[in-house]
Amino acid sequence: MQGNDIEQLTKLIAKLPALGARSARRIVLHLLKKKETSLLPLITALQNVADNIKKCPICGNFDTEEPCAICADTARDIETICVVQDVADLWAMERAGIYRGQYHVLGGILSALDGITPEDLNIESLFLRLNDRRVQEVILALPATIDGQITNHYLLSRLKEYPVKVTTLAQGLPLGGELDYMDDGTIQLALSARKEI
């Protein structure tokens, strides 16, 4: 009974991550009611992103500039490259606000289950970047999962050919983490990596 345009929009929104049919209907209704303050600005913002955002040819980040603002920022440390799975992880690192080096976005991790091989990822370009002999350290900031470890392993074996230090993020209890709520694996890790204080 609703117009076909509304149905079409609802279907597209329902397919976005974290959304379903019910939340899509709520969003569409909100947009219909707030045409001037919500629907039209959203169209403009989406159009701007569609027109202006490019993938950085160096690191794989998204930005309006090419190369991206991080790769182009001469104030940032050029000796360190932090390897992340996804642009979302790069954003998370930047929000943490402590890292001032370069990034390399793989666009995924190796996965036997999903059939993701090194050729499917943005890996070869990482090694090309290492030909710049100024790079001293590669930080592997991949997820602490089996697939993440497998990818770490693969990268480590390939990185041996280059004169760089390879590090990974520390594992243990998260900030504010209560033992009672931690899984066994995290407790085992935190215990075996315990430090003298």
Where do contacts with a second copy occur on this chain (CB under 8 A)? 1-6, 8-9, 12-13, 15-19, 23, 25-32, 35, 38-43, 45-50, 52-53, 61-65, 69-70, 86-88, 90-91, 94
Nearer to a second copy, 73 or 132 (CB): 73
Nearer to a second copy, 3 or 115 (CB): 3
Smallest distance, a second copy to C-beta of residue 82, A: 13
Nearer to a second copy, 102 or 151 (CB): 102
Smallest distance, a second copy to C-beta of residue 31, A: 7
> Which positions ≥6 away from 124 have C-beta within 8 Å?
118
- Rounded Cα distance, 147 and 116, in Å: 10
Nearer to a second copy, 48 or 188 (CB): 48
Helix-strand-coil percent breakdown of the chain, rounded to 5?
A: 45, 10, 40
- Rounded Cα distance, 154 and 11, in Å: 40
Q: Evaluate whether 78 touches 134 at the Cβ level (below 8 Å).
A: yes
Smallest distance, a second copy to C-beta of residue 5, A: 4
Q: Evaluate whether 139 touches 82 at the Cβ level (below 8 Å).
A: yes
- Rounded Cα distance, 116 and 31, in Å: 38
Smallest distance, a second copy to C-beta of residue 107, A: 9
Smallest distance, a second copy to C-beta of residue 106, A: 13
Nearer to a second copy, 23 or 167 (CB): 23
Residue located via tokens 């104030």: 75
